[in-house]
Structure 1
Amino acid sequence: MNKRTFLKTSSVLAAGAAFPQLFSCAEKPKSDPRTNWAGNLTYSTDNLHTPKTVAELQETIKKVKKVRGLGTKHCFNKIADSTENQISSAEFNKIISLDKEKQTITVEAGIKYGDLCKYLDENGFALYNLASLPHISVAGACATGTHGSGIKNGNLATQVVALEFVNGKGEIVNLSKEKDREEFGMAVVNLGALGIVSKMTLALQPTFKMKQIVYQNLPMAELEKNFEAIMSAGYSVSLFTDWTKKNISEVWIKSKADDMKEIAPEFFGAKLQTKNLHPIEAIDPVNCTDQMGVEGPWYERMPHFKMGFTPSSGKELQSEFFIAFENAYEGLIAIEKLNEKVSPHLFITEVRAIAGDDLPMSPMYKKTCVAFHFTWKQETEEVLKVLPLVEEALAPFNPRPHWGKIFTLKPSVLQSRIEKLNDFKALMTKHDPEGKFRNEFIDTNLF
């Protein structure tokens, strides 16, 4: 079954939070545990294993023929799906140790960023970057190359300095950036294809305070000559647009408090906002992190949304494409030309910059990228007709998709854009010779 057929048939509009940034409330959601967070995909097996120890994890892997790891279910495609077995990381949610001298923390792989950040801050430390969503697990985010924003900030996987996983043979494998540089780099953004990660060690920096401000209505034409200056205006910068008015509706700038001395009333023609805003202006910003230059802890400003809110029903889909930073404006204009086809099915697009890295399966491998993140209405059939148009518009810039979101790129095209794909396949053979962790997604897109 191909992606198009699958996503059409599996678009069950179950409760869940694909993009809780858009829809959130205090009421706990009613969700089917055998669907993903968005409710657009129903998992193909009811055999869910939830080991509590590494020994139990080893035993489970040894006894099954096929299995996939399952984190916080925030992927929108079949990357975590299995027709036979899934292993949940839910019980691997503890902090193992904090090394203040080395400035690292070792955690179990299933811990969520939202549960980790306050502990770090209380002990004088911070992560280098965070995604918009605090409910995702550390291992799942790193395995798919998930990221935050910042032209000098790498994706979340770049914070990993060591990891432990159980491979397809049931063996415990430990790799570190210091001792196993080449294999380690290949194993961090791993797509769940090498084994089940049990713990990770992350690099830290001293804790700090942040402020964020939001400007409205930046003319898109300003990006032609000033894109780098705009995206470098803070520690983290995000642009939001629905492509309807040839402008950027909101510019979110987050800076270390000591770096934001003065707040200008204008920013490349955009006006400073006078109240807190949601990325979609019509939505109540109650769940958004504080703006207007109000100082707060790094983990309460770096994400767009507060750590404490409870996600609720949101019927949406997500896609994301990465191109080299130097092609950012051309890529943006190529998408803007599709506005009449894109906008009717879209909630919002976020444009971000992410620093390059040395992780071969990362979309940012060897190049700083700009990301075009589409949050679509859950109109699966229509979105699947628009996506090829977006991919074709970006084709001159060799886009890579986010591994956990919806895309329709031909496997041969995707494979041609992964420089060290054969090396990754060799590592799969080494650690999973029987192909226990291969599923339809891996077979289709990598083989």
Structure 2
Amino acid sequence: MAATTRTNWAGNVTYRASALERPTSVAELQQLVAATPRLTALGSTHSFNEIADTDAVQVTLAGLPPLLEIDETRRVVRVAAGMTHSQVASGLEARGWALANLASLPHISVAGAVATGTHGSGVRNPSLAQAVVGLDVVRASGAVDRVDASSPDDTLDAHRVALGALGVVTAVELAIEPTFQVATTVHLDLPWDAVSAHFDDVMSDAYSVSMFTSFDDRGARQVWTKHRVDEPGPAVDLVALGARRADGPVHPGENDAASVTEQGGVPGSWAERLPHFRSTFTPSTGAEIQAEYLIPAAHAVAALDALRPLEPVFAPLLIAAEVRTIAADTAWLAPSTGRQSVGLHFTFRRDPAAVASAVERIEAVLAPFDPRPHWGKVSAAGVERLHEVYPRLDDFAALARDLDPAGRFRNAFLARVLS
């Protein structure tokens, strides 16, 4: 079908694709790939840069049949790549199973989240890509390859975060575990001195912890503690450290708290508590631009201290900044590959020029801390810098050339990043 004017979810990227194709079967997708000189897979449009843009053909997997097959013996679920995490989570929960972690938004597609290294939070929880134990990939020839732990060398780790460069993923196999319950408690205004002195204790005090800040005098203006009820309860007394417990639901940004998942320490399924936002609500207006950097966890306090003088820059522009922990990954291009990490996430108002300037300032401040930018968000990092902070990027670029020598899956973003 011919493409009309379309944008990403946030409206800061206008897609240039000449057409948007929506195959309804894997066989139809195979034929499309084999017959199309250049095409780019489009997920749930939640990237804030041009990673899914192209001047050729975009293809969405939203028309492929839903698939959710559980292998209880292997503790693995096989899902259609275009399904959202909300769809997968509800299907698993109904059958007594769970994923170990979810991103803050359940609305995003499984394949898109995996391909960009998207993550949740928790000192024991790596990115969502680490749960991948197998993938089906349509290659440039139109053939379908199966990639899993039996594949040669570390092929699976190369494919876990693949930026769309190695083919179109049609199915993903994910590790699962028995369902569990989570209770979310929110505290407000944890002072900076407490953040600095107790950062590691606070962030490791529950299964998943997020701090939100505006880098102003309020310190961590919200601390979301997500406790698995089958584990010991949090031990850090945030009230004693100067915070106060929220007396009702709060939104991390500026919107109605009705869109957030239940707080107040009320237990609920992992599917309804690990995300920040309910799948039945649009979590924000979409008029925003996001940036994020993952740094070694040991540098977290120093990096936060270094960012605080930028508060005058953030004041008119920043909607929310979130601090999360991510366990080390093995995926070649995961932003947390090889190191325990802390993610510094920024949600800005949709002012591209002002955001570009702020991002340059942020990256200059974070430079001593070896930041890796999130693949699906805006960044000022050049190719040389990306190759410095992603040690397997050269190897990945070589693999992409081997698997796609004609550049069938290459767009401007990949041409730049993999050069």
Decide which of 399, 402, 411 is 2:374's aligned counterpart: 402
Decide which of 181, 195, 198 is 1:226's aligned counterpart: 198
CA separation of 1:357/1:265 partners in 2, compared to 1, >3 Å: closer, same or farther?
closer
Contact 1:215 1:267 in 2 (8 A): no
Q: Which amino acid aligns with 1:276?
A: P
Deviation at 1:246, TM superposition (A): 5.1
- Greater displacement, 181-190 / 262-271: 262-271
Deviation at 1:387, TM superposition (A): 0.8
Deviation at 1:108, TM superposition (A): 0.9
Query: What number of residue pairs does the alignment pair up?
Result: 415
Q: What is the aligned-residue identity percentage?
A: 39
Decide which of 247, 267, 277 is 1:274's aligned counterpart: 247
Deviation at 1:33, TM superposition (A): 6.7
Instruction: Give the superposed CA RMSD.
Output: 1.6
Contact 2:17 2:54 in 1 (8 A): yes
Deviation at 1:278, TM superposition (A): 1.2
CA separation of 1:265/1:424 partners in 2, compared to 1, >3 Å: closer, same or farther?
closer
- Greater displacement, 309-318 / 162-171: 309-318
1:438 aligns with 2:418: no
Q: Which amino acid aligns with 1:274?
A: D
- In 2, distance between residues paired with 1:420 and 1:155? 17
CA separation of 1:436/1:262 partners in 2, compared to 1, >3 Å: closer, same or farther?
closer
Structure 1 length normalisation: TM-score? 0.90
- Greater displacement, 171-180 / 289-298: 171-180
Partner of 1:17 in structure 2?
Answer: none
Deviation at 1:311, TM superposition (A): 5.3
Partner of 1:129 in structure 2?
Answer: 101
1:112 aligns with 2:93: no
1:242 aligns with 2:201: no
Give CA deviations for 1:266-290 in whole Å, capped at 9, x if unaligned.
253211112111113x643111111
- In 2, distance between residues paired with 1:325 and 1:262? 20
Contact 1:34 1:46 in 2 (8 A): no
SS of the residue aligned with 1:371? strand
CA separation of 1:190/1:69 partners in 2, compared to 1, >3 Å: closer, same or farther?
same
SS of the residue aligned with 1:234? coil
Partner of 1:208 in structure 2?
Answer: 180
Partner of 1:72 in structure 2?
Answer: 44
Contact 1:93 1:111 in 2 (8 A): no
Gapped runs of 5+ residues in structure 2?
Answer: none
Decide which of 164, 173, 176 is 2:136's aligned counterpart: 164
Deviating above 6 A after TM superposition, structure 1's stretches of 4 or more consecutive aligned residues are: none
- In 1, distance between residues paired with 2:160 and 2:228? 28
Partner of 2:332 in structure 1?
Answer: 360
Deviation at 1:191, TM superposition (A): 0.2
1:342 aligns with 2:307: no
Partner of 1:40 in structure 2?
Answer: 12
Deviation at 1:144, TM superposition (A): 0.1
Contact 2:39 2:408 in 1 (8 A): yes
CA separation of 1:352/1:265 partners in 2, compared to 1, >3 Å: closer, same or farther?
closer
Q: Which amino acid aligns with 1:412?
A: E
- In 1, distance between residues paired with 2:283 and 2:67? 24
Partner of 1:316 in structure 2?
Answer: 288
Partner of 2:348 in structure 1?
Answer: 376
CA separation of 1:161/1:146 partners in 2, compared to 1, >3 Å: closer, same or farther?
same
Gapped runs of 5+ residues in structure 1?
Answer: 1-31
Matches within 5 A, 1:53-68: 53-68=25-40
CA separation of 1:130/1:348 partners in 2, compared to 1, >3 Å: closer, same or farther?
same
Give CA deviations for 1:32-62 in whole Å, capped at 9, x if unaligned.
8721111111111231111111211111111
Contact 1:213 1:252 in 2 (8 A): yes
- In 1, distance between residues paired with 2:150 and 2:48? 34
Q: Which amino acid aligns with 2:249?
A: N
Deviation at 1:259, TM superposition (A): 2.9
Deviation at 1:257, TM superposition (A): 1.5
Structure 2 length normalisation: TM-score? 0.95
SS of the residue aligned with 2:51? helix
Partner of 2:62 in structure 1?
Answer: 90
- Greater displacement, 409-418 / 130-139: 409-418
CA separation of 1:337/1:258 partners in 2, compared to 1, >3 Å: closer, same or farther?
same
- In 2, distance between residues paired with 1:308 and 1:86? 27
